[in-house]
Amino acid sequence: MSKPAAPKVHQVAQTGFGEGTNDLYDQARPSYPAGVFEIIAKALPPAPTGGYTILEPGAGTGIFSRLVLSPPDGYVRLPISQLVGVEPSAGMRQAWDKAYAKIDPKSLLAKGSIVDGSFEDFSQSGVEKGSADLVAIAQAWHWCPDHESALREIAAYLSPHGLFVLVWNQESQEIPWQRDIRALYQDYDKGTPQQYKGWWKSMYDTKAYTELFAPPEEHSIPWTVGLTEEQFIDRIMSKSFLTEQNLSGQAREDFLAKARAIIRADDKEWIDKEVSYRA
């Protein structure tokens, strides 16, 4: 008897990131520091004529995509031919398109697009196998249900000297109140494969990884973002397992009360106390 295929999208992600949830996600989730793109630029092979072809599985609402396609001041401007996002959530794809449409065309380095697909299937991307100079996955790889299949798909699309990059933002656990916040929301995560659990690292034990990829390099870039209490609450509640689709009613109210108590109890570094900014 054959083994059932792994689901394309985790059930909690399906409900938590479905249609109607993604505007909050795009507004509340953090950006990425300029240093991420400097590291990528240094690791990439020389750009081919016409620029790099970039695939971004798990592109979500396009937070990472937009930094590549329309980098702000101080960010690397890569020579790009095209960037294609691959995303299984229709709601996320709609949010990606909505945000992309707002970019000033004069600031775009190249054309961007997003298509339906998964970590294991880039077939709708329009990118030829063996031609992607960069496959970048930001804040999403921990959701991958089948590392073996996904890694073989990634390797099939990468050029011979192409680069595979995983990027995550992760809250510092050296700050007591942030540590307490994580301890609080971990109890609500419904057993989902969150990045901080490290389950995604089993990718390194797969036959596909050992056969097809070089040993990994790891980089860490400390950075600080100023937030109001409400912005921080929005960021927490944009997590798949904490959206209203997965946490509602009195349980939601109880969680919010506990989270606000933690935020307000500990000392913070104030940026502007009059408007309640905290770092």
Residue 218: beta bridge partners?
A: none
Phi, psi dihedrals of residue 29, rounded to the nearest 5°: -70, 145
Helix (H, G, I), strand (E, B), or coil: what is residue 54? Answer: strand
Cβ-proximal residues to 273 (8 Å cutoff; 6+ apart), any chain: none
pLDDT in tens, the chain (279 residues): 334 444 565 454 454 455 655 677 778 778 999 999 999 999 999 999 999 999 999 999 999 999 999 999 999 999 999 999 999 999 999 999 999 999 999 999 999 999 999 999 999 999 999 999 999 999 999 999 999 999 999 999 999 999 999 999 988 888 888 899 989 988 888 788 889 899 999 999 999 999 999 999 999 999 888 888 999 999 888 887 888 888 899 999 999 999 999 988 866 665 555 544 444
- Residue tagged 């689709």 (tokens): 245
Nearest to 142 by CA among 109, 170, 183: 170
> What is the per-residue pLDDT for 8?
61
Q: Which domains does the chain have, with CATH numbers?
A: 11-170+195-222 (3.40.50.150)
- Residue tagged 């009360």 (tokens): 257
Nearest to 36 by CA among 139, 108, 171: 139
Residue 86: beta bridge partners?
A: 57, 115
